[in-house]
Chains A and B, each alone.
Chain A
Amino acid sequence: MMELENFNVVCFMCNWAFCQEEMQIPSDLNIVRVMCIGRIDPAIILETLEKGMDGVMLVGCKPPDCHFIDGNLQAERAVKMLRKLLKLTGLETERIKLLWYSPTDEKTFAYYAKKFLKEIKEIGFSPLKRGAPKSKLLVNVLAAKNAASDFRLRVLLGREKELTEGVNVYGEKFSVEEFDALLDEIVTEEFVRHKIHVLTKTEPLSVKALADVLEMKTANVLRHIVNMRRKNMIALDHVEGTTPLYKALEVK
């Protein structure tokens, strides 16, 4: 059945990298025009993937060119965070490509588009394609999407430029590596918490059950639950024997 289906790849494309020529692009590839590739955030891409898209391409102007000064660099940061999240979901990070392109490039856009499509075909259909059973992967991608939609990751993403290029409010400088290490830690935390949230949305679960799914130590799962309670993400539902079960709260 799957073979009969088409591959679906979406290409978010900067208005100014957009080529006016008649593009010889494969029919599997849909272009979504944006003013600047800096417009695209990790949550949008994760939502796209969650809906079953096989690949996502982001096309922006090659630095240092950007019609909006440096929106392309912001897109680069967004993709960096996205890759961190994707790695945690288990979905192939190769399904995402960030391309710097300009109409004056030697090669046509169609060349890159075909090349990406070929790469995607080698990876295969997205396991989240329509009709695919609800999987562990879907939970992961949902969790990543929710994490990317939440204030904490968005504020860090938004502050990265300020903090790594300039100085912080105390006049101190952050190296990209330092900030990256911080991001790694917080992205993982947020992913796990949102995964717990997704998992406990449908049924109350215990620390042990969550630890099995998350392949984490029970102590760490408990720690996350404590934090989620503090943030009103989860509440104790009931106790079975000596085991408390927790249920997600609607996040405002």
Chain B
Amino acid sequence: MAEKKVGAVLVVGGGVAGIQASLDLADSGFKVYLIDEGASIGGVMAQLDKTFPTNDCSMCILSPKLVATGRHPNITILTNTEILGLNGEAGNFEVKLRKRSRYIIEEKCNGCGLCAQKCPIEAVDMYNGGLSERSAIYVDYPQAVPLKYKIDREKCIGCGTCYEICKAKAVAYDQQDSEATLKVGSIILAPGFEPFDAKLKSEYGYGRYPNVVTSIEFERILSASGPYGGLVLRPSDGEIPKKIAFIQCVGSRDYKLGNNYCSAVCCMYGMKEAVIAKEHTPTKLDATIFYMDLRAYGKEFDAYYNRAREEWGIRFVRSRVASITEDSSTGNLFVHYVEDEKPKTEEFDMVVLSIGMQPPKNVEKIAKVLGIELNKYKFCETKTFSPLETSKPGVFVCGAFSAPKDIPESVAQASGAAAKAMSIIASERGKLVAVKEYPPERDISQEEPRIGVFVCHCGINIGGVVNVPEVVEYAKTLPNVVYAEANLYTCSQDTQKLIREKIQQHNLNRVIVASCTPRTHEPLFRETVQEAGLNPYLFEMANIRDQCSWVHMHEPKEATEKAKDLVRSVVAKAKLLKPLKKPEISVTPVGLIMGGGVSGMTAALELARQGFEVHLVEREKELGGYLRKIYYLLEGDNPKERLDALIKDIMENDKIYVHLNAEVTEISGFVGNFKSKIKHYNGKEEEVEHGIVIVATGATEYKPTEYLYDKDPRVMTQHELEEKIAKGDFKAKNVIMIQCVGARNEERPNCARICCGQAIKNALKIKEIIPETEVYVLYKDIRSYGFKEDYYRKASEKGVLFINYEDSRKPQVRNEKGKLEVTFWEPVIKQEVTIEPDLLILSAATIPNPDNKRVAEMLKVPLTKDGFFLEAHMKLRPVDFATDGVFLCGMAHSPKYIDESIAQACAAAARATTILSKPALEMEGIVANVNEDLCSGCRICEYLCPYGAIEMKQKDDRLVAHVIEALCKGCGACGSACPTKAITMGHFTTEEIIAQVKAALLEVKA
């Protein structure tokens, strides 16, 4: 008999993928151990300045996830930790870990930073790409989670200053490395990647020429928190460059170096860095990108490429740079390259090397300990139909470790891996997580406000500038304040106990903490007052660090006065605070999935494996979708067998209800409580109740109107060719393929992503069947990203001719008296060539399902300009919609390969599970309230609400606005717009805001 399963998961690697996987698991009732070899979580994303294609600030979008992970009751973060050994099997593993000493007692360190300020020893700051120094006692960056300092044992001279200085007594020089054994049911690997060592590409002079920097260093240069404060400067002399070159594919697509694969993200980040550099530079900056193929293959990426060229004026040169030399007197750089078959040299002030991704360090050790297989590049080996599974059952993989990939794909894979990790231990859900119990809430409705104020020194972060005792004394003089005190660290564990005691002793019914920022600490203090029997909304925070001591560092007197002002105005607000209820809504633990292709089927199976019932609705008469048109794959799997197996699994699963020849015609309700109508084409209609919706409606192939398609039988699409080959009908001596048909044009500016792979696949297949057949591929950029690059190389080696064309010189296709003629420009010999192919294959784009518009309207979710579904956030919420409880996956999101669709489908299932696994959802208490007597029924609020949280209800003989609390996020847009002031915002009532403002205007009476 197998051993009992364990409801805990080990996540290895704390980058964005590891973080997402941990959050999804923890939100679905599993205990998570998140380990990282570094001192904090965040990974490479924490180093980035902005992210493409939205130019969002990387830290700003990552930081809330870091905080959520750090605070999650079901997640234990183990930093400086590595795996030593693994025993057991899927469902019941025993993992041996080693935690390296940080010489700091984590429970005691408050992250105040005083030690680092006083440490006399400096070391090179690798977080800043080595461009600055940090102390020998340090945190990676100010927002680090956990915010615990660490001693760099190699640099530390052991002078003992930090020990003396640390007020929290957190320094422990005798701390030893420790070992621990954990029991977990499954394991997720997310160790990320290692940036390529640019020194290995010695012809580019990195390490010798100071003005040649890597793209990671350049991210730090661009960052406002980076070494140069966000101004782009040359490391050699601190001058602002006028001309920067970006060199692509450094350490990627480099056969000689052994890295033939494409690193998949560099084209986009290269463009982004060029764009941001221009934005950050006060003077005119010329940016040139040297590239081989511009691989803007992701969602909306080509639109970004177009803007980079046209709006931001980035210059693109298609050439592999041969070498770089330096003018040692000026530090300027000569970039040597070949264009139009001619050697050229151009001078630049600065060069950025777009370095690729390597497998993580110690990858072989990890693989050996865990018993997983690596591919030839030492990335984790996965298969097309199991992209999240390693070769060892129960061990899953996500993020860049399985192949170079960008953030949204890593995030989707992370959620997907979470689904996989959960499904094998679904029976253990909820067994290892702590359920927090609070004492009954005290009724304060008849009490006068009795306010307690706790003012934090934050070590010296506040206390070094603001006179904290003075602020405390001042607070005591304020009306309704019955207690005030100063704390060294109000956030420390012992202070939480103290706050609870003071609430009892002084019968406090409002609590104010004057300290750092509500952004990170409000939830902690709310929890503390709740533990003392107060409603959590009777807590308020005065921000006297971020908005006072930090910004007025050099004016202690003024800062102290301002701290008093801030405390006074928050006291004025606190008097008016009212308890708020967190609404609870029930959840129907059933899923509805629209679309029965590979994505919808995968999502359905994953949900069923979690133990939930699923309605799978497909318009066609059979399941399979796009996958039905695929006969063979580059990577060798048999898609037909896989499809049959998938359908068999679905049909045999008694939790999945398949509705064929049917569509969803109506959806009402909200997260946890949807009601939908499924209409069968035979006329039958049924109504189902469900808690979530997954949109997996797929996409369709573009029917070309160009290049004589439909007019000449010799002209066909890649899919039609594939079918022909699969049926054994293929016969031709000469084949021409034209790429980007119906994509990357005026009407559809974006890339269809998968056509390059299709062309390479079919070209290789032709060469396999009839090696003598000439195959020409006319392309704009070959976008064989990741390991697909190997097949591109293989096709070239087999004699497939890849010929580049520009938009200004598109191929011409004619039917000359029955002869099919294709004329194109041959850029090497520089003349037009005409060929008579036996077959002309059009790589037709994958375009949105024409039904998307109807579905979008029905679900009240947005579409992109191109007509694909638009997710909640392009970077960090790739399978969520902004509307709670509605998810998307597969080609409904954008064109993608099978493995990518499967990963997203698993991700959507995991995200849905975070809802379906809960008997009820606890919503935020800060919501809008409508006074129905005052409501005029004007519908302005309904229109303005970005979350669809307001619906109009019939009351007596008129329409009134009604807030669906489950959907309300408490932003207040409705309240500010209501013409009759019928809407009140909880915790931010007009009276509260005005009281706060009025109090701020008062003079301090000393």
Whether the Cβ atoms of B233 and A222 lie closer than 8 Å is: yes
A225 to B228, CA, bound (A): 9
Chain A residue with Cβ nearest B158: A168
The answer on a CB contact under 8 Å between B159 and A155 is yes
Say yes or no: is B237 at the interface (Cβ < 8 Å to chain A): yes
Asked if residues A163 and B120 are in contact (CB atoms below 8 Å), the reply is no
Instruction: Check A169 for interface membership: any CB of B closer than 8 A.
Output: yes
Question: What distance in Å separates the Cβ of B780 from its nearest Cβ neighbour in chain A?
Answer: 36
Main secondary structure of the interface of B (DSSP, over half): loop
**A232 beta carbon closer than 8 Å to chain B:** yes
Residue from the set A159, A189, A226 with the largest chain B CB neighbour count within 10 Å: A226
Within 8 A of A (CB), among B107-147: 118, 120, 122, 131-133
Known contacts A151-B118, A170-B156, A239-B282; 17 further A-B pairs (Cβ under 8 A): A159-B161, A163-B158, A163-B159, A168-B160, A169-B163, A182-B157, A208-B238, A222-B238, A223-B133, A227-B132, A230-B132, A242-B239, A242-B240, A242-B241, A242-B242, A243-B240, A244-B240
Q: How far is the CA of A31 from the CA of B240 in the complex (A)?
A: 54
* Residue B702 CB within 8 A of the other chain: no
Number of interface residues, chain A, beta carbon within 8 A:
39
Task: Tell me if A215 is interfacial: C-beta within 8 Å of chain B.
Answer: no
User: Residues of B contacting A225 with CB < 8 Å?
Assistant: 238
Q: A241 near B: Cβ within 8 Å?
A: yes
Instruction: Tell me the bound Cα distance from A115 to B227 in angstroms.
Output: 52
Contact for A207 among B132, B161, B238, B241, CB less than 8 A: B238
Chain A stretch 179-205: residues in CB contact (< 8 A) with chain B: 182, 186, 189
- Residues of A near B239 (CB, < 8 A) are 207-208, 242-243
- Given A230-B132, A250-B554, the answer on whether A169 and B159 have CB atoms closer than 8 Å is yes
> Is B815 close to A, CB under 8 A?
no
* Residue in chain B with minimal CB distance to A251: B554
Q: A119 contacts the other chain (Cβ, under 8 Å)?
A: no
Of A207, A226, A239, which contacts B237 at CB under 8 A?
Answer: A207
Q: How far is the CA of A155 from the CA of B227 in the complex (A)?
A: 26
CB closest residue in chain B, given A152: B120
Does A30 lie at the interface of the complex (its beta carbon under 8 Å from any beta carbon of B)? no
**CB contact list, B843-861 vs A, under 8 A:** none
Partner of B210, one of A182, A219, A227, A229: A219
Q: Contact check, B282 vs A252: say whether CB atoms are below 8 A apart.
A: no
- Residue B363 at the chain A interface, CB threshold 8 Å: no
CB distance from B135 to the nearest CB of A (A): 10
A48 at the interface (CB under 8 A from B): no
Give CA–CA (A206, B231) in the complex, Å.
Answer: 14
Give the interface centre of B156, B158, B231, B553 by most chain A CB atoms within 10 Å.
B158
Task: A242 to B132: give the CA distance in the assembly, Å.
Answer: 22
Q: A252 near B132 (CB under 8 angstroms)? A: no
Asked whether A229 lies within 8 Å of B229 as measured between CB atoms, the reply is yes
Inter-chain contacts of B158 with A (CB < 8 A): 163, 168-170, 172
CA distance A82 to B25 in the complex (A): 60
A156 to B136, CA, bound (A): 14
Q: How would residues 29 to 64 of chain A score, 1 for a CB under 8 Å from any chain B CB and 0 otherwise?
A: 000000000000000000000000000000000000
B236 at interface by CB-CB < 8 Å: yes
Q: Is the CB of B161 within 8 A of A219?
A: no
A148 at the interface (CB under 8 A from B): no
What DSSP secondary structure best describes chain A's contact surface? helix
Given contact pairs A226-B227, A230-B132, A219 touches B236 in the complex (Cβ within 8 A): yes
Interface centre among B120, B235, B240, B242 (most CB of A within 10 A): B120
Q: Which B residues form the contact surface with A (CB < 8 A)?
A: 118, 120, 122, 131-133, 156-161, 163, 173, 210, 227-229, 231, 233, 235-242, 282-283, 553-554
Is the CB of A138 closer than 8 A to any CB of chain B?
Answer: no
Is A19 in contact with chain B by the CB < 8 A criterion?
no
CB-CB under 8 A for A222 and B159, given A155-B120, A249-B554: no
Interface digits, A147-176 against B, CB 8 Å rule (1 contact, 0 not)? Answer: 000011001100100110000111010100
Closest chain B CB from A246 CB (angstroms) = 9
A interface, CB within 8 angstroms of B: 151-152, 155-156, 159, 162-163, 168-170, 172, 174, 182, 186, 189, 206-208, 211, 218-219, 221-223, 225-227, 229-230, 232, 236, 239, 241-244, 249-250, 252
For B231, the closest partner residue in chain A by CB is A244
| With known contacts A169-B173, A218-B238, A226–B228 Cβ distance under 8 A | yes
Q: Is the CB of A169 within 8 A of B120?
A: no
User: Which residue, of A155, A162, A189, A211, has the highest number of chain B Cβ atoms within 10 A?
Assistant: A155
Q: What are 24 A-B interface contacts by the 8 Å CB criterion? A: A155-B120, A159-B159, A162-B160, A163-B158, A163-B159, A168-B157, A168-B159, A170-B156, A172-B158, A207-B238, A207-B239, A208-B237, A211-B237, A218-B238, A222-B236, A223-B132, A223-B133, A226-B228, A227-B133, A230-B132, A239-B240, A242-B239, A242-B242, A250-B554
Chain A's nearest CB lies how many Å from the CB of B334? 19
Chain B residues with CB under 8 A of A186: 120
Alpha-carbon separation in the docked complex, A172 to B174 (Å): 12
> In the complex, A232→B239 CA distance in Å?
21
Contacts of B238 in A (CB 8 A): 206-208, 218, 221-222, 225, 244
Residues of A within 8 A of B160 (CB): 159, 162, 168-169
On whether the beta carbons of B120 and A156 are closer than 8 Å, the reply is yes
The one of B237, B240, B241, B242 in contact with A222, judged by C-beta atoms closer than 8 angstroms, is B237
A126 to chain B, nearest CB (A): 31
B224 to chain A, nearest CB (A): 12
Question: Which single residue of chain A is at the shortest CB-CB distance from B285?
Answer: A242
- Tell me whether A232 and B553 are in contact (CB under 8 A): yes
Separation of A190 and B97 alpha carbons in the complex (Å): 42
Chain B positions within 8 Å of A159 at CB level: 159-161
Residue of B with least CB distance to A239: B282
Docked CA distance A230–B122 (Å): 12
Q: Which residues on the B side are within 8 Å of A206 (C-beta)?
A: 238
Q: Which 10 A-B pairs have the closest CB atoms?
A: A168-B158, A207-B238, A218-B237, A222-B238, A242-B240, A169-B173, A169-B158, A159-B159, A226-B227, A226-B132
Question: Closest Cβ of chain A: how far from B203's Cβ, in Å?
Answer: 22
- Chain A min CB distance to B552 (Å): 12
The minimal Cβ–Cβ distance linking A52 to chain B, given in whole angstroms, is 31
* Contacts known (A236-B231, A249-B554); A241 close to B283, Cβ less than 8 A: yes
Residues from chain B with a CB closer than 8 A to the CB of A155 are: 118, 120, 159, 161
Look across to chain A and name the residue whose beta carbon is closest to the beta carbon of B227: A226
Complex: chain A residue closest to B131, CB-CB: A226
A residues in contact with B131, CB < 8 Å: 226
A244 adjacent to B133 (CB under 8 Å): no
